[in-house]
C-alpha cells in the first residue's frame, strides 16, 4: 500500500467516526442523510482490509522464499572448517549459469519471431474464422504438460535433429558452437532449446496477439490513408504501439524458459560444460537441482550449493524482469499512453 492510500483510508475512518458523532447530535434535528449507508461503509472498510492483506501476503511469501534461499546459500561459500570457498562454488556454478542462459536465449531466438509472426497473422491477416481456430490451437500448446514435451523431445525430435547435427557439423564446424562431435542420440542443448521454444511459443503469441488487436483503428487508418501497404501499416502503426507488449511477452517467455525443469531433464543428456550446442553435455540450473536435490544429504556442501544456485536463478529472473520494465518504460513520452 502506498502512503497515499493509507492516508486516505485513515481519513475515511475518521470521517465516518465524525459522521457518527454528528449523527447522534443531529438525531433530534432529523437529518436523514447522516445515518444513511452505515452497512455499506462497513463492507467498504472490510474490503479495503482484505485487499491490503492480499497485497501484504504476496510480499511475505516472496520474502520467505528469498530468506530461505539466502540463509541456506551461505554455507555454499563459507565452510566452518575451511573458511571462504567462493572459488569452488563459482567453478561449480558458472557452467550451469551459462548453460541456462544459452538454452533460454536460443529458445527465445527461435520462438520470438515465430510467435510475433503468428500473432500478426491472427490479428491482421487471417480471415476471422480461421484466426479464431488458429488462436485456439496455439492456446492448446500451452495446455500440454511439460513432461509430455519432454517425452516428445526425447523420443521423437532428438532422433531427427541428430541427422541435422551431423550435417551442420560437416559444414559449420569452424563455428565453435558447432565444433564438438555431434551427439548420436541428438539429446543436446539445441534440442532442448527447440523443445523450450515450442513451450514458450503460446505465451509470447497470446500476449502479442492481445496487444496487436488493441492497436487503435485510428492509427491504422492514418497509415493506410497515406498510401501504406498492409505491411507498411503494421510497421507504422502496429509495431510502435505494441512494442512494450511484445517485450513483456518475450520476457514472460524467457522467464518460463529459464525456469523450465522437466523438459530439460528429459531431453538433455547432461554433462560437463562445452561450447558446442550439438554435442551432449552442459546442463541448466533447474535441471541440475531437480536431478540432484533428492539424492543429496541435508546440510552437505553439495546441498547448500544446490540451494545457492537456485538463488542465482532467482536473481537472474529478477534482473530479466527489471530490464524488461526498464525497456518498456524508456521513451514513455513517445509511448502513446498519454
Partner 1 sequence: MSKNITAKNLNVYYGDFLAVEGINVEIAKKSVTAFIGPSGCGKTTFLRTLNRMHEVLPGARVEGQLFLDDDDIYGPGVDPVTVRAMVGMVFQRPNPFPTMSIRENVLAGYKLNGARLSRSQADDVVEGALRGANLWNEVKDRLDKPGSGLSGGQQQRLCIARTVAVKPDVILMDEPCSALDPISTLAIEDLIAELKQEYTIVIVTHNMQQAARVSEKTAFFNIAGTGKPGKMIEYDDTSVIFNNPSNEQTERYVSGKFG
Q: Give the binding site for partner 1 (CB under 8 A).
A: 127-128, 216, 218-229, 232, 236-237, 240-241, 243, 331, 333-336, 338
DSSP state at residue 83 = E
Closest distance of CB 133 from partner 1, Å: 17
3-state helix, strand, coil in the chain (%, to 5): 80, 0, 20
- DSSP labels, 289-313: HHHHGGGS-TTSHHHHHHHHHHHHH
Closest distance of CB 324 from partner 1, Å: 18
Buried b (16+ CB within 10 A) or exposed e, 133-152: ebbeebeebeeeebeebbeb
Give the SS3 label for residue 84: strand
Q: Which is nearer to partner 1, 208 or 265 (CB)?
A: 208
Closest distance of CB 226 from partner 1, Å: 3
Closest distance of CB 334 from partner 1, Å: 5
H/E stretch holding 78 reads strand 78-79
* CB burial of residue 322 (10 Å; 0-12, 13-18, 19+): exposed
Q: Which is nearer to partner 1, 150 or 245 (CB)?
A: 245
Q: Which is nearer to partner 1, 34 or 236 (CB)?
A: 236
Closest distance of CB 211 from partner 1, Å: 14
Separation between Cα atoms, residue 116 and residue 103, nearest integer Å: 20
Q: Which is nearer to partner 1, 230 or 302 (CB)?
A: 230
Sign of CA dihedral 260, 261, 262, 263: positive
Q: Which is nearer to partner 1, 47 or 334 (CB)?
A: 334
Closest distance of CB 120 from partner 1, Å: 17
Q: Which is nearer to partner 1, 143 or 218 (CB)?
A: 218
Amino acid at each position: 500500500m502506498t502512503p497515499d492510500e493509507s492516508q486516505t483510508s485513515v481519513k475515511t475512518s475518521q470521517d465516518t467516526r465524525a459522521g457518527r458523532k454528528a449523527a447522534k447530535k443531529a438525531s433530534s434535528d432529523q437529518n436523514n442523510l447522516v445515518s444513511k449507508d452505515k452497512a455499506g461503509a462497513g463492507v467498504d472498510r472490510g474490503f479495503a482490509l482484505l485487499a491490503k492483506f492480499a497485497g501484504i501476503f504476496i510480499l511475505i511469501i516472496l520474502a520467505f522464499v528469498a530468506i530461505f534461499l539466502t540463509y541456506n546459500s551461505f554455507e555454499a561459500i563459507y565452510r566452518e572448517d575451511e573458511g571462504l570457498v567462493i572459488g569452488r562454488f563459482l567453478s561449480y556454478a558458472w557452467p550451469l549459469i551459462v548453460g541456462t542462459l544459452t538454452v533460454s536465449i536460443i529458445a527465445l531466438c527461435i520462438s520470438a519471431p515465430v510467435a510475433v509472426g503468428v500473432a500478426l497473422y491472427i490479428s491482421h491477416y487471417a480471415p476471422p474464422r480461421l484466426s479464431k481456430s488458429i488462436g485456439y490451437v496455439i492456446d492448446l500448446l500451452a495446455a500440454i504438460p511439460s513432461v509430455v514435451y519432454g517425452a516428445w523431445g526425447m523420443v521423437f525430435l532428438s532422433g531427427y535433429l541428430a541427422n541435422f547435427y551431423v550435417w551442420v557439423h560437416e559444414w559449420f564446424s569452424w563455428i565453435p558452437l558447432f565444433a564438438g562431435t555431434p551427439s548420436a542420440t541428438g539429446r543436446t542443448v539445441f534440442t532442448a532449446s527447440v523443445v523450450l521454444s515450442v513451450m514458450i511459443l503460446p505465451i509470447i503469441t497470446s500476449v502479442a496477439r492481445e496487444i496487436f488487436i488493441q492497436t487503435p483503428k485510428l492509427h491504422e487508418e492514418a497509415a493506410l490513408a497515406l498510401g501504406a501497404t498492409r505491411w507498411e501499416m503494421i510497421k507504422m502503426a502496429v509495431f510502435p504501439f505494441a512494442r512494450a507488449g511484445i517485450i513483456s511477452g518475450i520476457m514472460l517467455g524467457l522467464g518460463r524458459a529459464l525456469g523450465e525443469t522437466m523438459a530439460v531433464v528429459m531431453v538433455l543428456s547432461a554433462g560437463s560444460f562445452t561450447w558446442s550446442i550439438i554435442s551432449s553435455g552442459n546442463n541448466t540450473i533447474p535441471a541440475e537441482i531437480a536431478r540432484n536435490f533428492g539424492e543429496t544429504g541435508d546440510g552437505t556442501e553439495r546441498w547448500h550449493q544446490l540451494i545457492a544456485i537456485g538463488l542465482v536463478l532467482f536473481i537472474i529472473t529478477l534482473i530479466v524482469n527489471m530490464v524488461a520494465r526498464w525497456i518498456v518504460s524508456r521513451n514513455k513520452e513517445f509511448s502513446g499512453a498519454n
